[in-house]
Structure formats: C-alpha cells, structure tokens
Amino acid sequence: MSAAASPRRIVLLRHAKADWPDVPDHERPLAERGRKEAPVAGRRLAELGIPFELTLCSSATRTRETWKLAAHELPHRPRTVYEERLYDATLGDLIALLNETPEDVDDVLLVGHNPAIHALADALAGESDGDARARMNRTGFPTAAIAVITFSGPWKTVEHGVGRLVDFWSPHD
C-alpha cells in the first residue's frame, strides 16, 4: 500500500499492572492483576481488526510479559522487535523510533511505558474523536490501556499534531 492510499495506524499499548519486588525497575514482572489485564487488552486488540505488521516492544520484563499474553489473543502475531530504546523513553525518543519504521509497514503496535506512551498519544493527536480524547483525559493512560492514532504520509513525517486519536480503551472502562 502506498503512504497516500489510506491512513496508517499507530496503536499504543501501555504494559499491564506490574509488581514491585526487590529487583531493578527494568526487571519488574507483571502483578497478578497485570496477568489478568494483558489477555483482556489482547482481546481488545483483536476486536480492533487491525492487521499489525510490526510490534515494537520495550525490552523491560513487564512489557515483554504483557505482549506475550496479549499476542496469544490475536489471530496472527506480527513481527516483534524488542527495543531497548523504548524503556525509559522520552516523547522525542518514541517519535524518533516511529520515524524509523519501514515504509512497507502500515500498522504498528508500540508496547511501552508511561509517561511517554500517554505523552505520545497526546502529542500525535492533533485531532481526535471527542469521546476518545475525553476518555483519555479523564483516566490518564492506565495500565493495559490502548490508544489508536491514524495519520497519512510517510513514517518520517510523524511529529506533533500529525494524527487523529480515533479510539481509546482501558480495561477499567
């Protein structure tokens, strides 16, 4: 598909609820609640019907566990890249990663952390479905929440205000 043919989609998934054992932050596993939330988020991703071609997942334990549990709910598992740069990323880091997406990819799923995931959803959504923006503003970006942003054009043009927030979902809705 060409970049101009139809909108591309960036789907943001915040990792599910993590535990707080005495381990380095990068190694924190999912809590029991997170192990229940992740498959629910996966079912929501499946309901969206988006044929993800690429998943960019943070290398942190909690994001990898979230993705593993969520991916089992999808009809097909997209190519997954475990990306060190997603852990402790800034908004600028996330935009830079999206700018590197191959042009033959139309739909990307990014599995990461707050506050950067929320900042990215907010920054990219120049326009939004009023209800989706209201839900995101009301709840913040809780664990296992999902935002869907559409935009047109090449990946290297992803920047502030380029997209439209078309859906926001939280397992607590």
Kindly report the CATH number assigned to the domain that includes residue 163: 3.40.50.1240
Beta pairing class for 146-151 and 163-169: antiparallel
pLDDT, position 3? 45
At 43-82, the pLDDT tens digits run 999 999 999 999 999 999 999 999 999 999 999 999 999 9
Range of the domain at 131: 8-169
pTM score above 0.85: yes
Decide if 69 is inside a domain: yes
Contact 53, 79 (CB under 8 A): yes
pLDDT bin (cut points 50, 70, 90) of residue 5 is: low
State the maximum Cα–Cα separation within the chain, in Å, rounded to a whole number. 50
**Structural domains of the chain, count:** 1
